[in-house]
Amino acid sequence: MSQAPADANPLLDPSGLPRFGDVRPEHVEPGMRALLAELAGELERLERSVEPTWTGAVEPFERMYDRLRNVWGVVGHLVGVKNDPALRAAHEAVQPQVVMLGIRAAQSRPLYEAFVALQKGPEFAALEPAQRRIVDILVRDAVLAGVGLEGEAKQRFGAILTELAELQTAFSNHVLDATKAYALLLRDRDEVAGLPESALALAAQSAREAGEAGATAEHGPWRITLDAPSLVPALEHLARRDLREKLYRAHVTRASSGESDNSVLIPRILALRAEEARLLGFPSYAALSLATKMAPDVAAVERLQEELRRASYTAARRELEELRAFAQSRGQSEELAHWDVAYWAERLREERYAYSEEDLRPYFPLPRVLEGLFELASKLFGVRIRPADGEASVWHPDVHFFRVSDESGEPLAAFYLDPYSRPAEKRGGAWMDECLGRSRLFPDADGRPRRPVAHLVCNQTPPVGAKPSLMSFSEVETLFHEFGHGLQHMLTRVDHGLASGIRNIEWDAVELPSQFMENWCYHRETLLGFARHHETGAPLPDALFEKLCAARTYRAGSVMLRQLFFGVVDLELHHRFDPSGAESIFDVEKRVAETTAVLPRLPEDRFLCSFSHIFAGGYAAGYYSYKWAEVLSADAFAAFEEAGLADAARLREIGRRYRETVLALGGSRRAMEVFTSFRGREPKTEALLRLYGLIAA
Ligand code: ZN
């Protein structure tokens, strides 16, 4: 078979929306290779001719960035939603070169020098704030990539990054290996007493995969592993206390001994990160991490964590006492231990808030939920959303296309919605991604900046027969969440592509607009406004709504305290810990647990050895971001509550302000400045504590 010439490759067609329906796996390798060669040539040319001006440095850089982002974005998107072996192989084959080109551009000395000269030159003061911020960030990112280092320092920096990458991979492999190495095989029916049907089925399937060919959900054998989908239901439901203890102990000592011992890797990782930070001029790795975040400094993060800790600690103690009393009343004579908490917490939840997701589904058919969501967007932000199926090429017949416009009818943006789960070809989870970003470098036919286009991808229950997709409540929350991200991408007013939409937004602030939208799912008028039975049209019963709200704050103190524990340990290790000092990493963990855990920690607890978020993932000195962003979103929502959620005119007024600040400014200003311009002050923790019932309303 002959290959199509590059100019006929639909992947490389730069006109308008991507041709999702035409792109085939066989287009990926030739298309990407041609594009990469072209861009590498452009980068070289730019390095020779770059000038320290906006049009001589930043614009050509944005053109290259945008072209690569858009084409490679199509491939990445299809890998996520229309995966098959040929596509995956093509993706893997070109990915290293894409990464290489990115690194080459990020470490380009001539570009860096041009950006610095622009930043220090006469043109800078005359640039718009968004442009100045783009230049500042281009310089900052180059500095953090080590471009400013010379000689020995430069060499050492490269060696550190290489060793860190290896150590992080080893850390993650150790966790995988240790997880795989452990299994609890159960053969007696009484051993699995309490496990729900779905967990039994999963455990039997796991046993079959491990060689027990005849395993069934009903007769076993059942295999429980340390993988979360297997472990969590076991800890929550296994009636046999001794088995829960075994599992719990195995879980908290994972990857802490033998061939997959991470306890030796952690001090090395921390020492290298501290050295990396020092080379770049920061006092600690935490300070380096915060250089790119909204949180101004370590002290500010610690203040926020301490405020939340004080409030949640009291609640968590109360919740623990409650659980103790409950377990006792149900016949547990032993002192409440770690392996009892999840178990009794589930029993108490069932007693108090029992409702099943199945009771709720009939009230959430997708078309009604979308109607409710779009109406909310119209009420708050003054945007109109209309279905536009057929106006864009899609990758699956279930994908919908929508157009977003202003109340005046002026087109603003568009988005794809790929709602249903398709396990055979689509990645799990839900996400928002940019398809095209707003930018005046790529004007539309009418001469206006290119309008943003978003991907909203969910994995909800597909329609069955003539029935529409009936969504679980958490699927509804997820859709609102992703739509919130989408709004920030689509309602941007920034015309400079490198700072429009969600680009350039500090990492600890990106979940603000998404979590903000989730809050509306608990707003009576909003939810009851659209939740109607798909057959009878009856509204969602009040009692069910009340249970939903009560369940949200169930054990809120304990849940928050646990997240804070992770965040505080992370910061301690990346800010104050001295790998050559007297205190070990486990001493640090123990010290933190004294004030951020209500049940004394097991002396043999080695959870740090499987804390992949901070030792193998991107959360190093950033775990606090979960809470930081939650504080922002709750505080933003509180602005609407303070205005009075029943007052339509006030809601509209606050909604427009939110749109013109949080949604419109995106990454063109510092996130703190954006938040302050919406709220009139810096964020406070009070609203989040109130939301979870941790202080009086
Ligand atoms: Zn999110």
Least confident segment among 104-108, 280-284, 482-486, 684-688: 104-108
Range among 83-87, 113-117, 446-450 with highest mean pLDDT value: 113-117
Give residue-wise pLDDT tens across range 109-135.
Answer: 999 999 999 999 999 999 999 999 999
Determine phi and psi for 450, rounding to 5 degrees.
Answer: -55, 135
Contact assessment for residue 631 and residue 671, using Cβ atoms and an 8 Å cutoff:
no
- Measure the CA–CA gap between 283 and 588, rounded to whole angstroms: 19
pTM of the predicted model, to two decimals?
A: 0.93
Is 482 one of the catalytic residues? yes
- Measure the CA–CA gap between 410 and 404, rounded to whole angstroms: 9
Q: Give residue 359 CA to ligand 1 midpoint distance, Å.
A: 27
Can you list the positions of beta strands (E) in 585-682? none
Mean pLDDT of 231-246: 96
- Measure the CA–CA gap between 438 and 404, rounded to whole angstroms: 14
Give residue-wise pLDDT tens across range 565-591.
Answer: 999 999 999 999 998 899 999 999 999
Catalytic one of 319, 475, 482, 511: 482
- Measure the CA–CA gap between 469 and 482, rounded to whole angstroms: 18
β-strand pairing of 411-420 with 453-460: parallel
130: Cα separation from own chain's centroid: 25
Q: Give residue 47 CA to ligand 1 midpoint distance, Å.
A: 37
Determine phi and psi for 568, rounding to 5 degrees.
Answer: -70, -45
| 6-148 against 361-553: fold identical | no
Give residue-wise pLDDT tens across range 365-417.
Answer: 999 999 999 999 999 999 999 999 999 999 999 999 999 999 999 999 999 99
Contact assessment for residue 406 and residue 382, using Cβ atoms and an 8 Å cutoff:
yes
pLDDT for position 672:
97
pLDDT for position 36:
97
pLDDT for position 7:
56
In the block, tokens 């950033």 appear at 622
Give the relative orientation of helices 338-353 and 228-237 as an angle to the nearest 10 degrees: 70
Q: Give residue 513 CA to ligand 1 midpoint distance, Å.
A: 8
Q: Give residue 501 CA to ligand 1 midpoint distance, Å.
A: 14
Q: Give residue 411 CA to ligand 1 midpoint distance, Å.
A: 26
Q: Give residue 430 CA to ligand 1 midpoint distance, Å.
A: 9
Q: Cβ atoms within 10 A of the Cβ of 386, count?
A: 9
- Amino acid type, 24: R
DSSP annotation of 333 reads: -
Residue 538's region, left for phi above 0, alpha for psi from -120 to 50, else beta, is: beta
Q: Give residue 139 CA to ligand 1 midpoint distance, Å.
A: 28
Q: Show Cβ contacts of residue 114 under 8 Å, excluding neighbours closer than 6 positions.
A: 50, 51, 52, 56, 57
Residues whose CB is under 5 A from ligand 1 (ion)?
A: 514
Domain 361-553 has CATH 1.10.8.50: no
Mean pLDDT of 51-57: 97
In this structure, what token pair is assigned to residue 227?
């993988």
Q: Is the pLDDT of residue 696 over 90?
A: no
- Measure the CA–CA gap between 577 and 274, rounded to whole angstroms: 10
| pLDDT interval class at 662 (50, 70, 90) | very high
Q: Give residue 462 CA to ligand 1 midpoint distance, Å.
A: 22
Q: Give residue 481 CA to ligand 1 midpoint distance, Å.
A: 6
188: Cα separation from own chain's centroid: 40
Give residue-wise pLDDT tens across range 1-39.
Answer: 344 454 589 999 988 899 999 999 999 999 999 999 999
DSSP annotation of 295 reads: S
In the block, tokens 């015309």 appear at 495
Instruction: Please give the biggest Cα pair distance in the chain.
Output: 79
pLDDT for position 4:
46
pLDDT for position 446:
85
Q: Give residue 529 CA to ligand 1 midpoint distance, Å.
A: 25
Contact assessment for residue 606 and residue 252, using Cβ atoms and an 8 Å cutoff:
yes
Determine phi and psi for 411, rounding to 5 degrees.
Answer: -65, 140
pLDDT for position 73:
96
For residue 72, CA distances in Å to 67, 94, 324, 512 come to 8, 10, 54, 27
- Amino acid type, 63: R
Domain limits, the chain: 6-148, 182-254, 259-287+301-354+556-623, 361-553
Q: For residue 581, how many C-alpha atoms fall within 13 Å in the half-sphere facing its CB?
A: 13
| pLDDT interval class at 697 (50, 70, 90) | low
Q: Give residue 458 CA to ligand 1 midpoint distance, Å.
A: 12
Mean pLDDT of 517-535: 95
Can you list the positions of beta strands (E) in 284-369? none
Give residue-wise pLDDT tens across range 347-361.
Answer: 999 898 888 778 889
Percentage, residues of the chain above pLDDT 70: 99
**Vertex 409: Cα angle to 406 and 415 (nearest 5):** 60
- Measure the CA–CA gap between 691 and 697, rounded to whole angstroms: 8
pLDDT for position 451:
96
Better pLDDT: 15 or 94: 94
pLDDT for position 378:
97
Residue 534's region, left for phi above 0, alpha for psi from -120 to 50, else beta, is: alpha
Q: Give residue 514 CA to ligand 1 midpoint distance, Å.
A: 6
Mean pLDDT of 505-520: 96
pLDDT for position 359:
84
Which is the CATH superfamily of the domain at 259-287+301-354+556-623? Neurolysin, domain 3 (1.10.1370.10)
Fold of 6-148: Glutathione S-transferase Yfyf (Class Pi); Chain A, domain 2 (1.20.1050)
- Measure the CA–CA gap between 345 and 353, rounded to whole angstroms: 12
Give residue-wise pLDDT tens across range 137-185.
Answer: 999 999 999 998 999 999 999 999 999 999 999 999 999 999 999 999 9
Q: Show Cβ contacts of residue 397 under 8 Å, excluding neighbours closer than 6 positions.
A: none
DSSP annotation of 697 reads: -
Q: Cβ atoms within 10 A of the Cβ of 98, count?
A: 19
* Closest by CA position to 624, among listed 348, 238, 307: 307
Q: Give residue 350 CA to ligand 1 midpoint distance, Å.
A: 28
Element spanning 415, H or E: strand 411-420
Contact assessment for residue 523 and residue 517, using Cβ atoms and an 8 Å cutoff:
no
